[in-house]
Amino acid sequence: MEKLFFVQLGMGVDLHGQDVNVAAVRAIENAIHHNSMPGLRSVLPGNSLENMRVHVRLAVPCDKEKIDEEKIRKVLPFGKVTIEIADGGMLTTSGVVLPEKGDRNDLIYVVNAAVEVGY
């Protein structure tokens, strides 16, 4: 990325079901859904959102190989998206196993996201 304008941070949790993608999508939504960038288009090459670059860093506690990059890209409405997966996040106990919620065990998956925007 030649010019970095914003770094947005978020956290996502899957309380039941142990799905790292659910937690990752929630982390990205948490990062991007609390801001507006109305002037961004005016500083992008060609004044086009198609020239925006979005780099997503996800810190996941386990199941890195299960990250579905297509699901991640669908959360981001504009730009050319790259995704980086790193070790991190957290596994903790929910204290209960609810099979009707899809639980395989009592783990809560916590994923952290950094969403970088620029060109």
Q: Can you tell me the distance from the alpha carbon of 26 to that of 50, in angstroms, rounded to the nearest whole number? A: 24
pLDDT tens digits, 25-71: 999 999 999 888 899 999 999 999 999 999 999 999 999 999 999 99
Residue 72 has pLDDT above 90, yes or no: yes
The pTM of the full predicted model, rounded to 2 decimals, is 0.94
Residue 3 has pLDDT above 90, yes or no: yes
pLDDT tens digits, 84-111: 999 999 999 999 999 999 999 999 999 9
> What are the extents of the domains in the chain?
4-118
Cα-based torsion angle of the residue sequence 94, 74, 4, 9 in order, rounded to the nearest 10 degrees: -20
Q: pLDDT band for position 112 (50/70/90)? A: very high
Q: Which CATH architecture group holds 4-118?
A: 2-Layer Sandwich (3.30)
